[in-house]
Amino acid sequence: MNKYMKIYQSICEKILNGEYAHLQQLPSENELTKIYSTSRETVRKALNLLQEKGYIQKLRGKGSVVIYEDVIQFPISEMVSFQEINKRLGLDYETKVELLEVIDAKDVPVVQHALELRDQDKLWHVIRTRTKDDAVRIMDEDYFKCQIIPQLTEEVAAESIYKFIEQEMNVEISYSNKSITFEEMTENEILYFGKLNPPYTATVRGTVYLNNAEKFQYNISRHIATEFKFVDFSRRVIHKTL
């Protein structure tokens, strides 16, 4: 890993754990060169990346200020597993595997179409609930191509399927396309969430690809609508015209 990336990750962790709080000024570039025993150019590359990712804002003549706010959010734009989010944000959710089965692709036409499968192609169908304070907050429903994942257990599903795929199978997960809608709860969802007012979920659907651009997963993540907060960071880019 490049030196500037190590510095970026180190400062990022300090921001996430509150060592550098919102609106707090970071050590100066000169101080950071001493802290990390590196050049000023390397420190600047790390700070530029922190600014690009929305963690800090560099102020002319005043150094860098933390603009990241510690709000509980699920990073929709990132390719991360639930367990990675749970650990990183310290959310302390418990995962329960409600269903693990193998089905034919033709049984779920929407998924069959999204993953471009034949009728007889097999899929892992996994339903997991995420519980906090004795209440289900999130319901994740996943469909994985059995061709990519020949074996899957409840223990793996309860821990992290992505971790299993990447570390045990040495298969690289690359990117996904996602959409967010707000939908009225079905009877099946009421069984898991209970009766809510209003009876709606924020539903995130995604098709996930491997590094060879092959589709291998279709995910439906349902969140209690009143608790769902989508937060993203955008930085304006000014395009100069000739």
Q: What pLDDT does 87 receive?
A: 63
The answer to whether 70 and 88 have CB atoms below 8 angstroms apart is no
* Closest to 11 (Cα-Cα) out of 65, 74, 91: 65
Q: DSSP character for 70?
A: -
Percent of the chain whose pLDDT exceeds 90:
66
* Half-sphere CA count of 170, side-chain side, radius 13 A: 0
Q: CA 214, CA 217: separation in Å to the nearest integer?
A: 9
Q: What pLDDT does 89 receive?
A: 55
Q: What pLDDT does 240 receive?
A: 64
Cis previous bond, 150, omega within 30: no
Q: What pLDDT does 91 receive?
A: 64
Q: What pLDDT does 92 receive?
A: 79
For the chain, the C-alpha Rg in angstroms (whole number) is: 21
Q: CA 177, CA 207: separation in Å to the nearest integer?
A: 5
* pLDDT lower than 50: segments of the chain: 72
Q: Is 67 helix (H, G, I), strand (E, B) or coil?
A: coil
The pTM score is: 0.66
Q: What pLDDT does 54 receive?
A: 83
Q: What pLDDT does 173 receive?
A: 93
Q: Could you tell me the CA-to-CA distances from 144 to 14, 33, 74, 174, 176 in Å, in that order?
A: 36, 46, 22, 15, 14
